[in-house]
Amino acid sequence: MLKEAEKTFSDFLEKKDLKLTSQRRTILRVAFEAEGHFSAEALLSLSKKADSTISKATVYRTLALLKESQILEEQDFGDGKKVYERAQGRKHHDHLICIRCGKIIEFENEPIERLQNAEAQKHRFKIVYHSLKLFGFCNSCG
């Protein structure tokens, strides 16, 4: 799976006249191995752990490229902080967000997906992407 992402990323970079440098490769690997949803700061500290010569600017620039190439997806769970998660090689999913403790629950629901597509079709609207977020209280907070 990481191999596929490296291929996607190097093809994407090539179109921009950029190279998959060893630092970019390390950041990709770290992002791919990171669990769940992570911030740019978390990616920076994990990347520095893997290679102490990686700069903050390189991590932020690479993160933007990983997002643009759709290997990672950017999410904002309502607190104004952006987080990222792996998108390539994963099934699409949506999120339930606890507004008290911040717990994030992922779900996949085919009927909901179909309803969204049907609604878009009714309006002759072409969906490029979507992100469904339900905010509320989790079982421990509710």
Which stretches of the chain bind Zn ion, using CB under 5 A? 85, 98, 100-101, 103, 106, 138, 141
CB atoms under 10 Å from CB of 14, counted, come to 11
Residue with the two structure tokens 């997806």: 73
The nearest distance, CB 118 to Zn ion, in angstroms, is 24
The nearest distance, CB 36 to Zn ion, in angstroms, is 7
Residue 100 or residue 130: which is nearer to Zn ion going by CB? 100
Residue 121 or residue 136: which is nearer to Zn ion going by CB? 136
User: ∠9-96-133 over CA atoms, to 5°?
Assistant: 65
The nearest distance, CB 110 to Zn ion, in angstroms, is 17
DSSP character for 108? -
Residue 115 or residue 141: which is nearer to Zn ion going by CB? 141
Distance CA 90, CA 120 (A): 24
The nearest distance, CB 85 to Zn ion, in angstroms, is 5
Q: Do residues 53 and 60 touch, judged by C-beta distance below 8 A?
A: no
Residue 34 or residue 138: which is nearer to Zn ion going by CB? 138
